Structure 1
Amino acid sequence: MWYSPDLVASLLPLFAAIPLLAAGILIVFQRAKIMQEVVMYTVLMAGLIGSGLLIAITADGTALAHRVGNWDALVAIPFAVDMFAALMLLTVSILAVVCAWFATASGFSKEPFFAPLTLVLMCGVYGALLTADIFNFFVFIEVMLLPSYGLYATTIYRRGGRQQLAGLRLFIVANLFASNMLLAGVALVYGTYGAVNLAQLQGAAKEEPAVAIAMSIVILAMLIKASVVPVHTWLARSYPYTNPAVTALFSGLHTKVGVYAIYRWYAVVFDGDARWLWILVLLFSLTMVIGVLGAVGEKTTREILAFHMVSQLGYILMGVALFTELGMTAGIFYLIHHMIVKASLFMSTGAVEVVYGTGELDKVTNISKREPIIAVAFFAAALSLAGIPPFSGFVAKFTLLMGTWEAEEIYAFVAMLAVSLITLLSMLKIWKGMFWGDRKKPAPMPRTGQDPDGPAATLAGGVAIYPELPEEGSSVAVKAASDAYIIEDTKDARPRIKFWLAAPAVITALLTLAIGVGGEVLLNWADTAANGLLDTSVYVEAVLG
C-alpha cells in the first residue's frame, strides 16, 4: 500500500480547516489585493489536488474515516470519505477553481471580501460532503450559507435593482426555511433514536417508524434545498439575479450538496427502503417535466438555464429513486456531468452578459461571428445538456434511460425522452436568440471598458456614448432602441470577449467532451460509488472505527 490509511484519514478535517483559516487571514489583510488572489487560488488548487488523491485511494471501494480528537463515535465529529464523497470533492474543487477564474476575469473578484467569502463557502461545502453526522452536516450547511448571502449581497451593493433585492430575499428565506426544517428533523431523529451519527443510524428508518418520520423531515429539507417540485421556484427566481460568476458558482455547489445528502442518507439510514421509492419516482418525474416547461416562457439566458437546472435535478435524483446498481451509477454520473455542464453554460452566457450588458435574448443577438470562441463553448455545453453524442450528456442520459427501463419505470422513461427534446429546443432558443439571431439584424456594440454591472452606454441628447471609439476601419452608426444599443453596418467582426474571460467556459466545455468520449473511466468510478451506497457496510465500519 502506497499510503498510510490512518494518516490520510487524519488529514480529512483539513479540507474544511484550511479554507476557514485562510479566509480569516485574508480578512485581516483585506487591503492586500494580490495576496487575496494568490491565497484563494492556492487553497482551491490544494483542495483540487487533495481530492484527486482521494479518488486514487478510494477507487477500489475503500472508505476512510477520522474522529476529531479520537473521541468516541457517540460524541466525536466524524469525517469520512468513500468514492462518492471523493467524486463530489473533485468536482466541486474543479468548479471552484474555474468559477473563481471567471470571477477574476469579469472583475467581480475585486469586490470586498470576495476571496474570504469564497473560501468560507468552500469550507462549508467540503465539510458537508465529508461529515458522517447529520447534525454536523447542518452546521456545515450554515457555514456554507452565510458567505453565500454575502456574495449575493455584494451584487446588490453594485446594482441595487428591485429584481436583485427580491432575488436575495427569496434566496435567504428559502434557505433559512430549509435549514430550520433540517435542524428540527435532526433534533427529532436524536429524540427518537438517541444518535445522529450516520453509522449508528444504519437502517434505523427502515426498522423504526418514528425514525422514518423524523428522517423524512430531514430528507424534505434537502429536497427544498435541491429545489425539487413543488418547492422549486425559489431557485428559478433567485439565481438569475446575482452576478454571473456567483450564479455559476452556486449552480455547482448549493443544490448539489443537497442531492449528495439525499443519496447518502437514503442509502444509509433508510437502507434503500423500497416502500417509498414510487413516491420519489413520481416526484422526480414531475420535477423534470415542470422544470423544463417553466423555461419555455423565459426571455433571459439565466432564467432559462435556472429552470433547466430544476429539470435536470429530476434526472439526477431519479438514480436514488430507482435504487438499483445501474440506476445509482447513472444518477451519480449524471450528477457529475451536470455540475460541469451547467457551470459552463452559466459562464459562457455570463461572459456575453458581462461584455454586452444584458442576457435578454431580444437585446443581445447575432454575435456568433464576433464571438466565435464563446459561441462554440456554449454550443458544445448546450448539446451536452440535451444529451447529444459525443458529449457527457449522452452517456448520462442513455445510461439513466437504461436504468429506468430495467426498473420498468415506463412513465419516467417516457418523461425523460420528452424532456430531453424540449431541453434541446430551449438550448436552440438561446442559440438562435443570442448567438445566431436574425442575420439582418447587426450585433450589439460591446461595452468596452465598462463596469461589468453598469449600464451599457450613457444616452446624451439621443446619442449613445461609449467609453472607447470603434477601431479604425469599422463603419458604425449607433442608435437607441429603448435601452438597447445596436451597431449598424459593422464590418469589424473580431471577437471582443477576451480569451481570459472565455477560458473557464471553454475548459468546462472541453471537459464535458472528454467525459463523453472517455466515459468508461467516470462510469467505473460512479459504479464504485453506487456499490458503496447499495452496500454501506464498508462506510459504516470505517466511521465506527
Structure 2
Amino acid sequence: MSPDIVGAALPLFVGLPLIVAGILVMTGHRLRLHAVISISTMLIMLLGAFGLVYHFSSTDGGAIAHQVGNWPVGVAIPFVADMFTALMLSVTLLLTVVSMWFAHASRAANSQYFAPLVLLLSTGVNGALLTADLFNLFVFLEVMLLPSYGLYVLSANRKLPVRRIHGARLYVTLNLFTSTLYMVGVGFLYGTAGSVNIAILAEQAQHDSAVAIAGAVTIFALAIKASVVPVHGWLARAYPGTSPAITALFSGLHTKVAIYAIYRIYAVVYGGDTRFLWIGVVLFSLTMLIGVFGAVGEKTTRTILAFHMVSQIGYILLGVALFTELGLTAGIFYLLHHMIVKASLFMSTGAVEVRYGSGVIGALGGISRTEPVIGVAFMIAALSLAGIPPFSGFVAKFMLIVGAVEAGEIAAVVVMLFVSLITLLSMLKIWTGMFWEKGSGSQATKSGTVITSQTRDPYAQEVSYTPELATEATRAQVSTLSGTQTIIETDESTVPARRINFALAAPAVTLAIITVVLGIGGQFLLSLSGIAAEGLYDTTEYVQAVMNP
C-alpha cells in the first residue's frame, strides 16, 4: 500500500473511536449494543495496527507522517508512525479489547457510559502515541485522562467508600499536578526554541542548555506519570481503589504511554545524549529496588502487583538509559511483554476477587483446587514476570542484562538479578496465600457461615473465606465493613466447585498464552523490537517524515 495512503489513514486511529463514542452516548442504556459496537471498533483499529506493523516490517523500518489539513509543518497537527508506534498501538488496543471483555464478564461495565468512556480513553492513547508535537501530546494525554476519571468512579468499589474516595482524590490530584508541570516544560521549550514540534527540536538539547532543561521538565512530568522513584508512591495507593477490570486496563495504558513518550523525546530531542544517561541508570535502578521492596510488606494482591509495576518500570526505562541498539531493543521488548503479563496478573487475581470477594493474602486459600485454570494462568504470568524460562519475561530480562553488560553497567545487572529473586518470592507469596494454602480467616457452622476480618489494611476488602466453605447465600450477603464479624444464615446447598466461569477466566488465560508464545517464539518480537530500536537510535527517517510528509 502507498505510504501516502497509509499516512492519510493515521488520523482514523483518533477519529474513529471519538465518533463511535459520541454515537453510543446517544443510544442510551443498551449495554449489549454498546459492547458489540465498541469491541468491534477496537478490533478494526487493532487490525489497522497490525497492518502498520506488517508495513514497517516489510520495508525494514522507516516512518510515515501526515499533517492534518495539509497545514505547514509546525502549524498542522502532525501524526507520525514508525515500528515503535505500530507495536505500541497493537498491544494497547489488544489490551483494551481484552480488558473490555473482562469488564463485561465481571460486571464492571454495567453503565451506559462505560463503552463511550473507554473509546474516549483509546482516542487519547492513540493520539498520544501518534503525535509528533509536544503540545498535542499534552492535549491527548488530557483526552486520555478525562474519561479515566469517569471510569475510575463508575467502576470503583462502592462497598469500600474510604478506598474509593481516597484513591480517586489521589489519582485526580496527581494527574492535574503532572499535567500542569508538563505544560510548564512545553511553554519553556516554546519560549527557548520557538517550536514544540519534536522534529524541529531534533537534537537541540545537545547544543542548547535551555532546551535541555526545558525538555528535562517535560520528562520529569512524564516520569511522575510513569511512577518512577522518587515520585512513585501514588500508583500503589490509587490503582487498587477501582475495580480489577479498570486496574488491569490502566496498568496497560497510562504508565506505558508516559514511558513511550520518554523514549521518544529522549531519542529525538536529546539525540540519546550520553552525558545524562547515568542519571537514568541510577534512578531506574532505584525504581527496581524500591518498587520490589514496597511489595514485600503488602497484604493484598493488587497492592503487591501495583508495587511490582513500579519495579518493572525501572527495568523498562533502563533500556533508554543504556541507549544502545541492544539496550533499546531489550527495553522495547520488555515494555510490550510487561503490558501483557501485568494485565494477565491483574485479571487472574481480579477474577478471584470478583467471585470470592477478597484480594487479601491469607483470607482466601486453596483457589487452585477449585479454579485450576485461573491458577495455571496466574502461575504462568507470575513466572514470566520473575523472568523464568521459557516465558517472555526470561527473554526480556536476559536481553536487558546482555545490553547492560555491553554498556558496562555491571551494578545495574546486579540490581536486576537481585530484584528478579525478590519478585519471584513475592509471586510465590500470592500463590501460597491465595491459590495453594487454605485460608485462615474463616469458620463454618451447620447453621451458617462466620466471616471474620483478620487484616489490618483499612482499605482492603475484609471478606475472608475459603472455596470449600462458600455458599450462594454467603456470596450474596457478605459484609465488607472494616473490623466486623458477620453471621449469615445459609442453607445446606453449596456452590458448585468451579465458580469462575469461562467468560471471566478467558481474558487472563488468553494473555498468559501470549506470554508463552512470546517466550518460545521470542525471536519474532525481538526482530520487530530491533527495527523499532533502530528508529530510535537513528531518528533521521522519523524527523524527515515529519518535516517532509
- Aligned 8 A contact 1:446 1:496 in 2: no
Could you give the per-residue CA deviations for residues 475-513 of structure 1, whole angstroms, max 9, x where no partner exists? xxxxxxxxxxxxxxxxx6x32100110000000000000
Could you give the per-residue CA deviations for residues 154-201 of structure 1, whole angstroms, max 9, x where no partner exists? 134833510111111111111111100111111110010001111111
In the alignment, the residues of structure 2 paired with residue 106 and residue 256 of structure 1 have an alpha-carbon distance, to the nearest angstrom, of: 24
Match of 1:338 in 2: 338
**1:428 alignment partner, SS class:** helix
Q: Read off the aligned partner of 2:154 and give its amino acid letter.
A: T
| Gaps in structure 1 of 5+ consecutive residues | 472-491
- Aligned 8 A contact 2:21 2:119 in 1: yes
- Aligned 8 A contact 2:61 2:532 in 1: yes
Q: How does 1:176-325 map to 2 (within 5 A)?
A: 176-325=176-325
**1:237 alignment partner, SS class:** helix
Match of 1:518 in 2: 521
Could you give the per-residue CA deviations for residues 45-66 of structure 1, whole angstroms, max 9, x where no partner exists? 0111010000001111021000
In the alignment, the residues of structure 2 paired with residue 63 and residue 39 of structure 1 have an alpha-carbon distance, to the nearest angstrom, of: 31
Shift of 1:273: 0.4
Do residues 20 (structure 1) and 23 (structure 2) align? no
Could you give the per-residue CA deviations for residues 134-171 of structure 1, whole angstroms, max 9, x where no partner exists? 10000000000000000111134833510111111111
| Gaps in structure 2 of 5+ consecutive residues | 443-465
In the alignment, the residues of structure 1 paired with residue 168 and residue 91 of structure 2 have an alpha-carbon distance, to the nearest angstrom, of: 26
Q: How does 1:60-139 map to 2 (within 5 A)?
A: 60-139=60-139
1:365/1:438 CA distance change after superposition, 3 Å:
closer
In the alignment, the residues of structure 1 paired with residue 20 and residue 69 of structure 2 have an alpha-carbon distance, to the nearest angstrom, of: 22
1:297/1:461 CA distance change after superposition, 3 Å:
closer
- Aligned 8 A contact 2:319 2:327 in 1: yes
Q: Read off the aligned partner of 2:431 and give its amino acid letter.
A: W
**Over aligned residue pairs, what C-alpha RMSD do you find?**
2.0
Do residues 48 (structure 1) and 46 (structure 2) align? yes
Shift of 1:24: 0.8
- Aligned 8 A contact 2:291 2:308 in 1: yes
- Aligned 8 A contact 2:472 2:494 in 1: no
In the alignment, the residues of structure 2 paired with residue 398 and residue 505 of structure 1 have an alpha-carbon distance, to the nearest angstrom, of: 25
Shift of 1:38: 1.4
In the alignment, the residues of structure 1 paired with residue 22 and residue 518 of structure 2 have an alpha-carbon distance, to the nearest angstrom, of: 37
- Aligned 8 A contact 2:368 2:375 in 1: yes
- Aligned 8 A contact 2:347 2:507 in 1: yes
**TM-score, normalised on structure 2?**
0.92
- Aligned 8 A contact 1:182 1:221 in 2: yes
**1:64 alignment partner, SS class:** strand
1:356/1:466 CA distance change after superposition, 3 Å:
farther
Match of 2:498 in 1: 495
Shift of 1:438: 3.9
Paired residues, what number?
520
Q: Read off the aligned partner of 1:513 and give its amino acid letter.
A: V
The counterpart of 1:529, out of the listed 523, 526, 532, is 532
**1:80 alignment partner, SS class:** strand
Could you give the per-residue CA deviations for residues 292-343 of structure 1, whole angstroms, max 9, x where no partner exists? 0000000000000000000000000000000001100000000000000000
In the alignment, the residues of structure 2 paired with residue 528 and residue 544 of structure 1 have an alpha-carbon distance, to the nearest angstrom, of: 21
In the alignment, the residues of structure 2 paired with residue 143 and residue 152 of structure 1 have an alpha-carbon distance, to the nearest angstrom, of: 15
- Aligned 8 A contact 2:31 2:111 in 1: no
1:358/1:103 CA distance change after superposition, 3 Å:
same
**2:22 alignment partner, SS class:** helix
Shift of 1:258: 0.4
In the alignment, the residues of structure 2 paired with residue 356 and residue 510 of structure 1 have an alpha-carbon distance, to the nearest angstrom, of: 24
Match of 1:6 in 2: 4
Match of 2:447 in 1: none
1:228/1:154 CA distance change after superposition, 3 Å:
same
Do residues 543 (structure 1) and 543 (structure 2) align? no
Shift of 1:410: 1.1
- Aligned 8 A contact 1:355 1:452 in 2: no
- Aligned 8 A contact 2:362 2:439 in 1: no
- Aligned 8 A contact 1:301 1:430 in 2: yes
Match of 2:425 in 1: 425
- Aligned 8 A contact 2:364 2:439 in 1: no
Q: Read off the aligned partner of 1:36 and give its amino acid letter.
A: H
In the alignment, the residues of structure 1 paired with residue 171 and residue 424 of structure 2 have an alpha-carbon distance, to the nearest angstrom, of: 28
Q: Read off the aligned partner of 1:464 and give its amino acid letter.
A: I
Q: Read off the aligned partner of 2:19 and give its amino acid letter.
A: L
Q: Read off the aligned partner of 1:54 and give its amino acid letter.
A: L
Could you give the per-residue CA deviations for residues 408-453 of structure 1, whole angstroms, max 9, x where no partner exists? 1111110000000000000000000000014999535557599999
Do residues 36 (structure 1) and 34 (structure 2) align? yes
Q: Read off the aligned partner of 1:341 and give its amino acid letter.
A: V
1:462/1:70 CA distance change after superposition, 3 Å:
closer
Match of 1:476 in 2: none
1:366/1:205 CA distance change after superposition, 3 Å:
same
- Aligned 8 A contact 1:23 1:116 in 2: yes
**TM-score, normalised on structure 1?**
0.92
In the alignment, the residues of structure 1 paired with residue 500 and residue 329 of structure 2 have an alpha-carbon distance, to the nearest angstrom, of: 38
Q: Read off the aligned partner of 1:333 and give its amino acid letter.
A: F
Could you give the per-residue CA deviations for residues 265-295 of structure 1, whole angstroms, max 9, x where no partner exists? 0000000000000000000000000000000
Match of 2:467 in 1: 443
Shift of 1:32: 2.2
Shift of 1:30: 2.1
1:113/1:212 CA distance change after superposition, 3 Å:
same
In the alignment, the residues of structure 2 paired with residue 543 and residue 502 of structure 1 have an alpha-carbon distance, to the nearest angstrom, of: 43
**2:467 alignment partner, SS class:** coil
Match of 1:488 in 2: none
- Aligned 8 A contact 1:85 1:129 in 2: yes
Could you give the per-residue CA deviations for residues 21-42 of structure 1, whole angstroms, max 9, x where no partner exists? 1111111112222221111111
In the alignment, the residues of structure 2 paired with residue 203 and residue 253 of structure 1 have an alpha-carbon distance, to the nearest angstrom, of: 28
- Aligned 8 A contact 1:36 1:115 in 2: yes
- Worse-superposed segment, 382-391 or 444-453: 444-453
Q: Read off the aligned partner of 2:280 and give its amino acid letter.
A: L
